[in-house]
Amino acid sequence: MSMFDQFEAADVRALIETYPLAWVCAAGSDGIEASLLSLVGRYDKEGALVELIGHLMLGNPLYALLKRRPRATILFKGPDAYVSPEHAGKRDWAPTWNFAQVRIGADIAFGERFTQTSLNILIDAMEAGRPNPWTTAELGSRYHKMLEKIVGFRARVTSVSGRFKLGQDEQPEVLRTILESLPDAATIQWMQRFNNERLPEQPD
């Protein structure tokens, strides 16, 4: 297994919570149908992802396809950045692209009675930490009209794979130079996450 394919359950959770908008894809007779949907993860007591909560429009072609064959591939993408030899401080160093991604296989279960719950789960997750969190009650009568057009779902996780290409193969000195010069703060944060024990100590 490549070093880029090695990760922990906590890494999957951090990526999903930070980048909750994912491609939900399903295969049909006419090819692949896919939509970007915001999802919220559910985890077991060990921290492993077991379920994703979401909703989609009833008129979305993905809904009809998943009703017939309720299996999906869900793709989460984290930060990414082009890394130039300039960032590495070495002209004999080949440019590359750093990124983080998670691929999930899932069985989909729709439920009209679950729709309102799925919305509340998403809104609570997205509004958490705001000084004055928004609630659906502020929509008034419009809320129930909107509910009629969407359906909630649970995606039971059947497989998880990922690729976190974040400089794990770089020499510590080169890695430090990249971290000091790369302008993408989000990618730097994830590079530090995956290389914390390898980073050379800063001189006093």
| pLDDT tens-digit series, residues 2-39 | 999 999 999 999 999 999 999 999 998 788 999 999 99
Q: Which of 85, 82, 86 is nearest to 94 (CA)?
A: 85
Whether pLDDT at 114 is above 70: yes
The answer to pTM > 0.85 is yes
> Into how many domains does the chain fold?
1
Q: Residue 28 belongs to what domain range? A: 3-79+100-166
Distance CA 123, CA 177 (A): 40
Asked whether residue 153 is assigned to any structural domain, the reply reads: yes
- The predicted-structure confidence for 122-158, as pLDDT tens digits, reads as follows 999 999 999 999 999 999 989 989 999 999 999 999 9
Please give the average per-residue pLDDT across 65-88, as a whole number.
97
Percent composition of the chain: helix, strand, coil (DSSP 3-state, to 5): 35, 35, 30
Mean pLDDT, the chain, whole residue set: 94
Task: Identify whether 26 is part of a domain.
Answer: yes
Q: What does the pLDDT read at residue 199?
A: 77
How far is Cα of residue 194 from the mean position of the Cα atoms in its chain? 17
CATH number of the domain encompassing residue 72: 2.30.110.10
Residue 30 inside a domain? The answer is yes
Domain membership of residue 36 (yes or no) is yes
Domain assignment present for residue 171? The answer is no
Return phi, psi of residue 55, to 5°.
Answer: -155, 160
Q: Does residue 177 sit within a domain? A: no
* Residue 182 located in a structural domain: no
